Amino acid sequence: MGGDMSTGIQAGAGTAAARETRSVCPYCGTGCGVLIQHDGQRILGVRGDPDHPANFGRLCAKGRTLHQTVHGADRATRPLWRDRDSGGSSPLPWSEALQRAAEGFAGIIRAHGPQAVAFYVSGQLPTEDYYVANKLAKGFIGTNHIDTNSRLCMASAVSGYKSSLGMDSVPCAYEDIDLADCIFLIGSNTAYAHPIVFRRIEDAKASNPDLRIIVADPRRTPTASIADLYLPLKPGTDVALLHGILHILIWEGWIDRAFIDAHTEGWEALKALVQDYSPQTVAEACAITVADLRRAAELFGTARAALSLWCQGLNQSAHGTDKNTALINLHLATGQIGKPGAGPFSLTGQPNAMGGREVGGMPALLPGHRDVLNPAHREEIASFWGVEGISPEPGLTAVPLFQAMERGEIKAVWIVCTNPVLSMPDQAQVIRALARAELVILQDAYLETETGAYADLLLPAASWGEREAVVTNSERRISHLGQAIPAPGAALPDWEIFRDFAHALGAALDESGRPAPASMDGSWTARAQRLFAFSTAESVFNEYRETTRGRDLDITGLSFARLDRDGPQQWPFPEGAQKGRARLYGDGVFPTPSGRARFRAPAYAPVAEDIDARYPLRLITGRLRDQWHSMSRTGKVTALFQHSEEPLLEIHPRDAQRLGLKDGQLCRVSSRRGKVVVRAQVLATATPGVLFLPMHFGARFAPAGECNRLTLPAIDPVSGEPEFKHTAVRVEPLAFAWTGAILALLDGEAQFLAARAVAQGFPYASLARIGGAMQNGFLLRLAAEEAPPAWAVQEWDRALGIGGADALDYQDLRRGVSKRICVREGRLVAARLFGETETLDWLRALLLAGTDIQPYRHALFAPTVPQQLSAWVPPHTVCTCLGVSETVICAAIAQGAKSVEAVAQVCGAGSECGSCRPEISALLRAPVQEAS
């Protein structure tokens, strides 16, 4: 499955014939198969792999635009040494870059010991990279301080599975969605975070009218559009809700006593605990009705096959492990595990977070689902690697790691394929930590991330489509990714960088005089050469594969050749097996000392930071439909801004009215740690008292809108996962004295980078890519207490290419209005509106349409849009794939389209990736709601 295939794709005249290479989408953990269309040098397009069992050819809007993310001026192509004071950088050859890194690490290790250095890696790394990084840290350097950004999304699922079932083994498969007759979605906006999984749920619902779907979430997200029962529980009350459901299951006799007696332990303690979680008590705690609570218990408890799906809503909490075990309790109590259509199914957030867990890429883990705290496990891996031993103390998880860095205990950190300045909670603390560190190395495929500004050394990594690899998706399915094109410049696969660094570090440790462990290696150099003798990605995989022998995730029956021949496979797949196992624990035997699953009895505990008179509102952070993480990839794609151009604060009309806040108005959101300035979005579907702010936008796109300025570093004591899903905040309306906007067509990426530079320093700024069928450009919105000086405006005009003979100017000094319009060949190509922006949307529509402006010249500098031209104002885009607006969809509905399928037939919306289908469903319901 990983190799090239001959296709009928035709390249342009004079170019090599295009071909296809099988790969997997590098976004969420669904693991959708992708066919990369390329000519051997450049990626030309993508399409879904119809043979991949995760998606059968479907791709979401992000996956469909992957080819637009690979090539560009922001790609890291050579090592760079950066001067922290000046911000300048100078290129280095690989040999010198690795020598500097090695000398820095060696000096710190000699002076302070191996616990003074750390690695912070990523769930987007393939399995080979994770394995070599883990071996480098724990087996060679001797530090267990290696954590991953998966800590921020999936760590509580790991600890929950291990606590209840004995191992971090997801027991379900995607096919269980098709076989369930009750699906319980809790803490997951699946429609946005895992769109292809949601499409499968939609298909299951369509083919089985008896399927009942429960959605529990403080926000009425698009996922709730498919719910038979929606539970708008109060943020942080998941444990109370789940215990309340179990209380009713016991009372009504909807439990499987035979399964409990034969295959579990700890039942009596849990049963005694949940006696106190009466329906009335739980309904009050969760702010739901008793009737809805009872209905949820009935749907789950009477189901033939009940499947639960969850994600960050349960995991990102100071009590995330408790929430996970409380949900697993429901499955154990009803025997809904290990059979078709049933089980607790954690939806993985990143493309290879599962692979990272498998190789032990976390501070307390070792390869093959082994634990650092287990002496036998440490001995097994030490013996396998041929080292004296593994440090017995687990390393620091992400939040404590950066806190230790700020205290000066961690002197050097190697950050790989992640952007902690934007993604970690309490952003100010992370920045202080990086500033305190003696050496910060950033290894990434992209140069301009927020973290890059704090790095001393930047190392260029190969990215998606540029290297061979394996990854594991949410259902334990391993896929082999083929290399389509060479990596740009001097970029290398991450595992190769780690290997070469290990060799350089060995030499540096010998030169520093640090004594080598008494072993046959004789020196650090010889030790590095033996431990890191890898020559190919396959050689790394083969070594890792052996660590799984006899373990719950045994994959000794797999190889690159087999994956290419038979396609992606689920583990376990031991040597001699003919296929992997779709679901686990069908025999009722669990990998615990007793062989029984364990009921856990956590008491419901409140959120880590509750609201008060000063901070009376609850803030949730999370994902948008068409953006990904910190937008290093998706921020390059114009189409992915059409649905959401900037971070908007979702707020209920009642809260907005109380605060005097109007839809679209700027506001300040403050917490005990920081503040942001964003635009409000007043939504009737929002929950009173609960706000939402997207996680993606950083200094590159919304310098004042970074949500993790607000969030707190409270973590789950078991999993170490931070509480992103609840922050106490207050909101204040803002009315800046000066506002401005700049929009322009792009001649090249330099213009966009210039616009990004302009945005810095404003109390509010938002930069988005804008585009249409004819044109692509950018839109920069600005606000401040006073107008920028004239000399600065002149510099910006030059940098943005807004000037020359094409420019027309309008000045009204009395009102503080300054406008510039640029026209080329009768077409609008740029507009700068300072002091007056009411016509912005109309001018944007005019610019993107590429139409002759002659009929509209009289209105270009008008303070408002003339009534007869108001139709030019662009409506909200719903369907990203085809660029279909809400106006067009509503027109289709008005003409008689009564279903999503009918809308798709009329205008195409919802017929491609399907991510917009929940929003179309909401539009279909809207007239009925208004009439009622």
ω into residue 572 within 30 of 0, thus cis?
Answer: yes
Determine the Cα–Cα distance for residues 61 and 919; give it in Å rounded to an integer.
14
Same-domain check for residues 179 and 229: yes
User: Is residue 394 within 8 Å of residue 366, measured between CB atoms?
Assistant: no
State whether the Cα torsion 130-417-534-574 is positive or negative: positive
Mind giving me the DSSP string for 88-140? -EEE--HHHHHHHHHHHHHHHHHHH-GGGEEEEE-TTS-HHHHHHHHIIIIII
Same-domain check for residues 143 and 189: no
Give the angle 913-919-920 at the CA atoms, nearest 5°. Answer: 80
Residue 258 CB-density burial (10 A; 0-12 exposed, 13-18 middle, 19+ buried): exposed
User: Is residue 499 within 8 Å of residue 55, measured between CB atoms?
Assistant: no
Q: How far apart are the first and last CA of the chain?
A: 53
φ/ψ (deg, to 5) at 186: -135, 130
User: Is residue 421 within 8 Å of residue 451, measured between CB atoms?
Assistant: yes
Same-domain check for residues 383 and 283: no
Same-domain check for residues 865 and 881: no
User: For residue 585, is it within any domain?
Assistant: no
Q: Which helix (H) or strand (E) holds 286?
A: helix 279-286
What is the domain range of residue 48?
4-69
Q: Which of 419, 448, 417, 442 is nearest to 352 (CA)?
A: 417
Indicate the residue among 315, 346, 377 that finishes a domain.
Answer: 346
Give the angle 258-261-265 at the CA atoms, nearest 5°. Answer: 145
Determine the Cα–Cα distance for residues 8 and 99; give it in Å rounded to an integer.
47
Q: Which amino acid would we find at residue 841?
A: D
User: For residue 839, is it within any domain?
Assistant: yes
Same-domain check for residues 202 and 305: yes
Indicate the residue among 69, 104, 126 that finishes a domain.
Answer: 69
User: For residue 770, is it within any domain?
Assistant: yes
Same-domain check for residues 264 and 373: no
User: Is residue 864 within 8 Å of residue 839, measured between CB atoms?
Assistant: yes
Q: Which of 582, 689, 701 is nearest to 645 (CA)?
A: 701
Determine the Cα–Cα distance for residues 711 and 675; give it in Å rounded to an integer.
10
User: Is residue 45 within 8 Å of residue 12, measured between CB atoms?
Assistant: no
φ/ψ (deg, to 5) at 517: -60, 145
Same-domain check for residues 338 and 320: yes
User: Is residue 398 within 8 Å of residue 123, measured between CB atoms?
Assistant: no
Q: Which helix (H) or strand (E) holds 271?
A: helix 267-274
* Helix intervals (H) in 34-73: 61-64
Mind giving me the DSSP string for 534-590? --SHHHHHHHHHHHTTTSTT--TT--HHHHHHH--EESP--TT-SS--SSS-TTS--
For helices 886-894 and 917-931, give the axis angle rounded to 10 degrees: 60
Q: pLDDT tens digits, residue range 299-335? A: 999 999 999 999 999 999 999 999 999 999 999 999 9
For residue 688, give the CATH number of its domain: 2.40.40.20
Give the angle 715-151-550 at the CA atoms, nearest 5°. Answer: 125
Mind giving me the DSSP string for 889-927? HHHHHHTT--SHHHHHHHH-TTSSS-TTHHHHHHHHHHH
User: For residue 542, is it within any domain?
Assistant: no
For residue 298, give the CATH number of its domain: 3.40.228.10
Q: Which amino acid would we find at residue 556?
A: T
Q: Which residues of the chain have pLDDT under 70?
A: 1-17, 519-520, 773-774, 872, 927-932
Residues contacting 413, CB < 8 A, separation 6+: 117, 118, 119, 120, 401, 405, 434, 437, 439, 440, 441
User: Is residue 264 within 8 Å of residue 583, measured between CB atoms?
Assistant: no
Q: Which helix (H) or strand (E) holds 510?
A: helix 494-512
Compute, in degrees rounded to 10, the torsion defined by CA atoms 720, 725, 729, 731.
Answer: 150
Q: Which helix (H) or strand (E) holds 845?
A: helix 840-849
Same-domain check for residues 454 and 523: yes
User: For residue 423, is it within any domain?
Assistant: yes
Distances (CA, A) of 72 to 76, 445, 633, 810: 9, 11, 11, 36
User: For residue 545, is it within any domain?
Assistant: no
- Per-residue 3-state assignment (H helix, E strand, C coil) for 721-768: CECCCCEEEEEEECCCCEEEEEEEECCCHHHHHHHHHHHCCCCEEEEE
Determine the Cα–Cα distance for residues 361 and 138; give it in Å rounded to an integer.
10
Q: Which amino acid would we find at residue 546?
A: E
Q: What is the pLDDT of residue 912?
A: 87
Q: What is the pLDDT of residue 142?
A: 97
Residues contacting 285, CB < 8 A, separation 6+: 234, 237, 240, 604
pTM of this structure:
0.95
Indicate the residue among 501, 536, 571 that finishes a domain.
Answer: 536
Determine the Cα–Cα distance for residues 83 and 815; give it in Å rounded to an integer.
44
Same-domain check for residues 340 and 369: no
Determine the Cα–Cα distance for residues 708 and 724; give it in Å rounded to an integer.
9
294 is written with which tokens?
Answer: 């009872």
Same-domain check for residues 677 and 769: no
Determine the Cα–Cα distance for residues 907 and 919; give it in Å rounded to an integer.
15
Q: What is the pLDDT of residue 87?
A: 78
Distances (CA, A) of 59 to 199, 875, 881: 10, 25, 11
Same-domain check for residues 147 and 217: no
User: For residue 51, is it within any domain?
Assistant: yes
For residue 922, give the CATH number of its domain: 1.10.10.1100
Residue 354 CB-density burial (10 A; 0-12 exposed, 13-18 middle, 19+ buried): buried
Count up the domains in the chain and report the number.
6
- Other CB atoms within 10 Å distance of the CB of residue 784: 16
Same-domain check for residues 278 and 314: yes
Q: What is the pLDDT of residue 520?
A: 63
Compute, in degrees rounded to 10, the torsion defined by CA atoms 906, 910, 913, 915.
Answer: 160
Q: Which of 301, 322, 298, 300 is nearest to 309 (CA)?
A: 300
User: Is residue 248 within 8 Å of residue 293, measured between CB atoms?
Assistant: yes
Q: pLDDT tens digits, residue range 606-629? A: 999 999 999 999 999 999 999 999
User: For residue 564, is it within any domain?
Assistant: no
343 is written with which tokens?
Answer: 């089980």
For residue 365, give the CATH number of its domain: 3.40.50.740
